[in-house]
Structure 1
Amino acid sequence: MPPLEHATLRRGIAPVTLEAYLRIARRYWLALLVGLVGGTLIAFAVTVIQPKTYTADSSGFITTPSTSSSGSGVGTAVAGDTYAKSRAKSYADLGKKRVVAEDVIQDLGLNTTPEQLVDQITVTAPTDTVTIKVSAKASTAQGASDLANAWIRAMSTEIAKLESGESENATGDGTTQQTTATPAATLTSLESAAVPTSPTSPNRRLYLAVGALAGLLLAFGYALLRNQYDKRIRSADDVARTMQKPIIGTLPLEKALVGASSRLIQDAGQHDARRHSAVRHISESLRELRTNIDFLDVDDPPRGIVITSALPGDGKSTVAANLAVTMAETGRTVILIDADLRKPTVANTFNVPGEVGLSDVLAGRATLEVTITRPDPQLDLFVLPAGSIPPNPSELLGSDALHELVQSFVAEGATVLLDAPPLLPVTDAAVLTARTDGALIVASAGQTRVDSLQQALERIDAVKGTTLGIVLNRVPTKGLDSYAYGYYGGDYYGEESDHSSKRHGSRRSRRQRPTAQSHPRAVSSRRPPAPGTTHARAPLVESLHRTPGAPGPQQARSPQRRPQPLLGPYDDATTSSRR
């Protein structure tokens, strides 16, 4: 690889290739179209405003008495033709003189000066010919034709005067007599100028072509400049080129989930793959993400995972909720904790009470049995809402109590997902990452900037945390930056998901609700709680599995008034609706 290209790749800048130019053109096609149309319209306007000029051409033929006489010999004719050719250049120069212009002004009755009229005329004598060509320009078609014909007549008159040798001789009675000899050469009109049908200036076709090309070039320059300073992440290749962290998942764009109160995909728990192709794609992408997380470390996969993003609106809460459901579908126990104590969303997503939750447990005002909820009795998925909005979220999330709570769940074999606040506005997520197995950073295609994602990764590195990988969310399924979702076709996903749904349904109908003792991972990975642990109410997971049909603590208690949240540094209505 050449040194320049190698350095370019090392800086995270895409090398300039023909394919790169084509991608820029496709991305900014609208700007190119506007430039093309705009340049054409401007050129058309110039042709309309600019004065029109018409051009007419006439010509004359130089003759001599020897060439015009039928009785002359061949030698005489040749001598006359040679003489005419030798005079052609001189006659062409005569046609540019003031005396000819004065004759034309008098002939046509023009209101102009000889100098201005001469500028409108072009007189030429083609080499080795006896022809004189006159090209006249005027503001009207008829005026150009009349001017060209009158110029030939005026030149013929002046040439006749020069070649005839006119002179005045004195007589005996004191008078003068004008004598005229036969002209040695004359200029005869050969072709009269026709009235032009279209103006020669401005050349509309040429103007339109130049205007369109200029507009297109300006628009492409704008596209190159815009692309150079556009730092938004648009594809997985952009992440791989600019970041040193792996991409462990890409999720397609589903517009129905953007800004929705419930962030769960349609029929995610039942794998209903025949109702909508987008559901199949995002469900398969979540399963791929789940598998990639498991293979981050085959011997000891991460169990305490923080899910966060660089800025609000990247979809980290949507990813956390659907990933929790997807993991629970494999039969494992999953605990989803809403650790975003500034803008909690998990309770609304799963439609469970959220008056009390994590903050109340950490403060000792409530127990897990009262705050944790199992939304779907067929899945080992437990949800711990954020609870009351505390005045000190960072202190609570960085406390030993939360760390011991997460570790107690992990010791029981559960996978704990923590929906954390964004990394850049507040320090909550970075604090959590330092006390867990690592963090998944959610980036939104076409929205998250490279510098924002880089700063988020630096925040985690600053607290000695671990970045498990980057999840690229909202990747378009169509267009320039689309990802090849569902390349096997609809039948592949439809049949597999349909059979998978039937297998899951029959398996769930036969099996009883799992307990921690029957869960193989829980038995093999159980570790004793650390000394002094206050929240390790062993076995915690076993206490969460209630008898089928029995009401949970959340449903049994009466609703309470939720405290008003304290505004955080990124609390605004727009970001809340986007996440």
Structure 2
Amino acid sequence: MEFRDYVDTLRRRWIGITVFLVVGLAISGALAFLAVPTYQAASRVFVATQSAGSAIEAFQGGSYTQQRMQSYVEVASGPIVLDEVIAELDLDTTAEELSSSISARVVPDTVLIEIVVTDESPEEAADLANAVARSLRDVVVDELEEAVGGEGSLVNLTLVKRASVPSEPSSPVIPLYLGIGAIFGLALGLAFAFIRQALDTRLHSERDVRAVTDEPIVGGFVFDPTAAQAPLIIHSGPQSSRAEAFRTLRTNLQFIDFESDHRAYVVTSSLPSEGKTTTAVNLAIALAESGKRTLLIDADLRRPRVADYMAIEGGAGLSDVLINSATLEDVVQPWGESGNLWVLPAGAHPPNPSELLGSRSMMALLDLIRANFDQVIIDAPPLLPVTDGAILSKITDGALLVCAVGLVRAPQLRQALEQLQNIHANVLGLVINMLPTRGPDSYGTYGYEYVDKA
């Protein structure tokens, strides 16, 4: 992945990352709220060695003390000390259980031993810390060192800092809990985002489409939630940016096979609902507005939509002409004020659409139509569910493949293109539909220009 891929992933998946972050903070906050507060109290003991007063004896005494400091630390949390503490404070526990709440350490570069006690009661924490210090002093001076020295202990322990009752709990530390929760939540959110991105084969942008195919992109349209209610944007909103995008598509098509005076194009898609019919009807209107004699054919004999979009009678049409129950002149209907657009609806639903569209009658009809019209736009069924669109692409001048980002997946687009390539159909280019208007994949970050495939 490139750096831009990481940035795009973060921008696309930021909601999921935020959710994990918030959940992590919520869980850590709940744990901190439910945790039993504990308090810490600390006392300090000064360790000294008696000497006759000479420098050499003082040095030797200091070395003697340093050598034994760590041993005193270990003794502080042992049974020999804690049994006396339990007896003094009349505690209902054992030395082993009590040792888990007591820690001792040598203060660096000193002869001080710090005893820290953690307890749910601040008063008990202070009492325990002082009791352990007293017991350690008694055990070391009266038992351990006395037994070694034989004539009295050379080591003396003095309680130099009594433990005071803590006013605030030492745990839970709310900022620490929240920090850990935020880190874990963010880590899980990022892992989720990148795993989901790696597994997501859906196309989201022109960049994703270009990663799938080298076919030229001849048009792009932003997502319009009102497209289903007002599909004829060229007619209803001629000054809109979406209408201008269809005019740009018309202009780009003029550079394809520009020497031909009579062209027939199929508009299809990989899947249903990608906007192929909307593209076909608006492109036909745009071509007619430019002065081209244009015929729009609804060749989707399974789910025809053109008649409804154009608000014309669709009872008779292409299927009737192909079975010789009507002539072209009988069913073609003029549309609009330009005087250059005619519409051939789908007609009756036949039981064998693929056979009709691939028949000699269809090829003969296309020859007749080319002789009478400058431009022919054919709305064909999607490629993956049925073969109708591929058949029509083979017998016309080529296909425009509508690709709806956010809907079609990379394998589906590849499969649709392979269908056209396997029959040696001419792919004129791709029209990207439903581009987002905001975010890293927004239409505003792209410019669509015709790219010559040669």
The normalised TM-score by structure 1 is 0.71
Q: Is the 8 A contact 2:262 2:374 kept in 1?
A: no
- Which residue of structure 2 aligns with residue 37 of structure 1? 22
| Aligned-partner Cα distance in 1 for 2:144–2:327 | 126
Deviations 1:501-535 (A, max 9, x none): xxxxxxxxxxxxxxxxxxxxxxxxxxxxxxxxxxx
Paired amino acid for 1:191: K
| Aligned-partner Cα distance in 2 for 1:34–1:361 | 58
- Which residue of structure 1 aligns with residue 396 of structure 2? 436
Q: How does 1:480-499 map to 2 (within 5 A)?
A: 480-484=440-444
| Aligned-partner Cα distance in 1 for 2:84–2:284 | 100
Q: Is residue 264 of structure 1 aligned with residue 249 of structure 2?
A: no
- Which residue of structure 2 aligns with residue 468 of structure 1? 428
Structure 1 position 49, deviation (Å) = 4.3
Paired amino acid for 1:471: V
Q: Is the 8 A contact 1:295 1:301 kept in 2?
A: no
Q: Identity over the aligned pairs, expressed in percent? A: 38
- Which residue of structure 1 aligns with residue 284 of structure 2? 324
Paired amino acid for 1:312: P
- Structure 2 gaps of 5+ residues are 448-454
Q: Is the 8 A contact 1:477 1:485 kept in 2?
A: no
- Which residue of structure 2 aligns with residue 130 of structure 1? 111
Q: 1:416 to 1:39 in 2, by over 3 A?
A: same
- Which residue of structure 2 aligns with residue 557 of structure 1? none
| Aligned-partner Cα distance in 2 for 1:345–1:418 | 12
Structure 1 position 181, deviation (Å) = 7.9
SS class of match (2:88): helix
- Which residue of structure 2 aligns with residue 344 of structure 1? 304
| Aligned-partner Cα distance in 2 for 1:244–1:79 | 86
Q: Is residue 295 of structure 1 aligned with residue 255 of structure 2?
A: yes
Q: 1:402 to 1:87 in 2, by over 3 A?
A: closer
Q: 2:218 is matched with which residue: 244, 248, 253?
A: 248
| Aligned-partner Cα distance in 2 for 1:248–1:76 | 97
Structure 1 position 75, deviation (Å) = 8.6
| Number of residue pairs the alignment of both structures matches | 445
Structure 1 position 451, deviation (Å) = 1.3
Paired amino acid for 2:407: Q
Q: How does 1:34-183 map to 2 (within 5 A)?
A: 34-63=19-48, 88-126=69-107, 129-162=110-143
Structure 1 position 182, deviation (Å) = 7.3
Q: 1:433 to 1:164 in 2, by over 3 A?
A: closer
Kindly name which structure, 1 or 2, has the bigger radius of gyration based on alpha carbons.
1
Q: Is the 8 A contact 1:56 1:194 kept in 2?
A: yes
SS class of match (1:441): strand
Structure 1 position 272, deviation (Å) = 4.4
Deviations 1:461-518 (A, max 9, x none): 333322111111111122221122799xxxxxxxxxxxxxxxxxxxxxxxxxxxxxxx
- Which residue of structure 2 aligns with residue 285 of structure 1? 245
Structure 1 position 103, deviation (Å) = 1.3
| Aligned-partner Cα distance in 2 for 1:226–1:64 | 68
Deviations 1:512-565 (A, max 9, x none): xxxxxxxxxxxxxxxxxxxxxxxxxxxxxxxxxxxxxxxxxxxxxxxxxxxxxx
Q: 1:394 to 1:110 in 2, by over 3 A?
A: same
- Which residue of structure 1 aligns with residue 413 of structure 2? 453
SS class of match (2:185): helix
Q: 1:302 to 1:429 in 2, by over 3 A?
A: farther
Deviations 1:259-318 (A, max 9, x none): 33x5201xx248642xxxxx2x21221111111111012222661111111111000000
| Aligned-partner Cα distance in 2 for 1:446–1:302 | 35
Paired amino acid for 1:192: R
- Which residue of structure 2 aligns with residue 21 of structure 1? 6
Q: 1:302 to 1:158 in 2, by over 3 A?
A: farther
| Aligned-partner Cα distance in 1 for 2:259–2:378 | 22
Q: 1:366 to 1:125 in 2, by over 3 A?
A: closer
Paired amino acid for 2:225: K
Q: How does 1:558-569 map to 2 (within 5 A)?
A: none
Q: 1:138 to 1:76 in 2, by over 3 A?
A: same
- Which residue of structure 1 aligns with residue 451 of structure 2? none
SS class of match (2:335): coil
- Which residue of structure 1 aligns with residue 321 of structure 2? 361
Q: 1:47 to 1:353 in 2, by over 3 A?
A: same
Deviations 1:24-69 (A, max 9, x none): 01111111011111222222333344544432211022356779xx
| Aligned-partner Cα distance in 2 for 1:233–1:370 | 43
| Aligned-partner Cα distance in 2 for 1:160–1:230 | 73
Structure 1 position 84, deviation (Å) = 5.4
- Which residue of structure 1 aligns with residue 380 of structure 2? 420
- Which residue of structure 1 aligns with residue 356 of structure 2? 396
- Structure 1 gaps of 5+ residues are 1-15, 167-179, 274-278, 488-579
Structure 1 position 104, deviation (Å) = 0.7
| Aligned-partner Cα distance in 1 for 2:337–2:114 | 101
Structure 1 position 372, deviation (Å) = 1.4
Q: Is residue 224 of structure 1 aligned with residue 194 of structure 2?
A: yes
Q: Is the 8 A contact 1:163 1:184 kept in 2?
A: no
Paired amino acid for 1:156: R
Deviations 1:397-440 (A, max 9, x none): 11222222222222234211111111111111111111111111
The alignment's C-alpha RMSD in Å is 2.8
Paired amino acid for 2:232: L
- Which residue of structure 2 aligns with residue 541 of structure 1? none
Structure 1 position 184, deviation (Å) = 4.2
Deviations 1:381-409 (A, max 9, x none): 00111111112212221122222222222
Structure 1 position 148, deviation (Å) = 0.5
Q: Is the 8 A contact 2:261 2:374 kept in 1?
A: no
| Aligned-partner Cα distance in 2 for 1:383–1:160 | 111
Paired amino acid for 2:305: T
Q: 1:95 to 1:231 in 2, by over 3 A?
A: closer
Q: Is the 8 A contact 1:302 1:438 kept in 2?
A: no
Q: 2:439 is matched with which residue: 474, 479, 483?
A: 479
Q: Is the 8 A contact 1:164 1:181 kept in 2?
A: no
- Which residue of structure 2 aligns with residue 238 of structure 1? 208
Q: Is the 8 A contact 2:437 2:444 kept in 1?
A: yes
SS class of match (2:15): helix
| Aligned-partner Cα distance in 1 for 2:404–2:109 | 77
**Which sits farther off after the overlay, 325-334 or 408-417?**
408-417
| Aligned-partner Cα distance in 2 for 1:348–1:128 | 91
| Aligned-partner Cα distance in 1 for 2:35–2:303 | 63
- Which residue of structure 1 aligns with residue 166 of structure 2? 196
